[in-house]
Amino acid sequence: MVLSEKQEALVKESWELMKQDVPRHSFRLFTLIMERAPRAKDLFSFLRDTDEIPENNPQLRAHAAKIFKLTCESVVQLREKGEVAVGDTTLKWLGSVHLQKGVLEPHFEVVKEALLKTIQEAAGEKWSEEMKNAWGEGYDHLAAAIVREMQVQA
Ligand code: HEM
Ligand code: ISQ
């Protein structure tokens, strides 16, 4: 088994916590990504024409909420089935969006670090190595599935 039931519970618990303030965590996620990879900003259609990351951009928020949720779901699937089971249509869509936007493989590590740091800050005292590994594992499997799909479509 890749992930334990306890790890699944920890991830669900932290996602519930994050849901209370998705706008703040979304903004934080983007800020961290842009700090590490400033030029990645231009990949995002809703950020291209601004110098700052808009704190209250509804698109940004909806996007970030999806990335949190998809990663959380991957953890659940990994625990239940031992693999990420994102629907075929969703995966094809994710592959094509990222391919078309010019996302490259090294970007995935940047987003991973930013995502984990965002969750760490959101979880506060509840943060642990176990929780980190669970989110990280879910992300890695999901990212690998997206990258595979990008390669198939390229
Ligand atoms: C779009 C998730 C990795 C950059 C999206 C969308 C989702 C998503 C759900 C579509 C949003 C929508 O149209 O509603 C994910 C997940 C990732 C991942 C789950 C990793 C497991 C990355 C990486 C980058 C990236 C590494 C590189 C910086 C983008 C860009 C868009 C996008 C530029 C298009 C935004 C626009 O509409 O202009 N992502 N993403 N993503 N993602 Fe990702
Ligand atoms: C989409 N893809 C990757 C990272 C993201 C971060 C915030 C919002 C949307 C995203």
Taking residues 7-24, what's their average pLDDT? 94
> Cα separation of 31 and 143, whole Å?
20
| Nearest ligand to residue 71 Cα | 1
Q: What is the CATH number of the domain that holds 91?
A: 1.10.490.10
Taking residues 2-11, what's their average pLDDT? 92
State whether the beta carbon of 64 lies less than 6 angstroms from ligand 2: yes
Domain span including residue 53: 5-153
pTM for this predicted structure: 0.93
- The domain total for the chain is 1
State whether the beta carbon of 104 lies less than 6 angstroms from ligand 1: no
pLDDT, mean over the chain: 91
Q: What is the ipTM of this complex?
A: 0.95
Out of 46-55, 97-106, 141-150, which region has the weakest mean confidence (pLDDT)? 46-55
State whether the beta carbon of 60 lies less than 6 angstroms from ligand 1: no
Taking residues 67-80, what's their average pLDDT? 94
pLDDT > 70: percent of the chain: 99
11: exposed, middle or buried (C-beta count within 10 Å: 0-12, 13-18, 19+)? buried
Closest ligand 2 atom number to CA of residue 98: 2
Alpha helices (H) in the chain, listed in sequence order:
5-19, 22-36, 58-81, 88-101, 107-123, 129-153
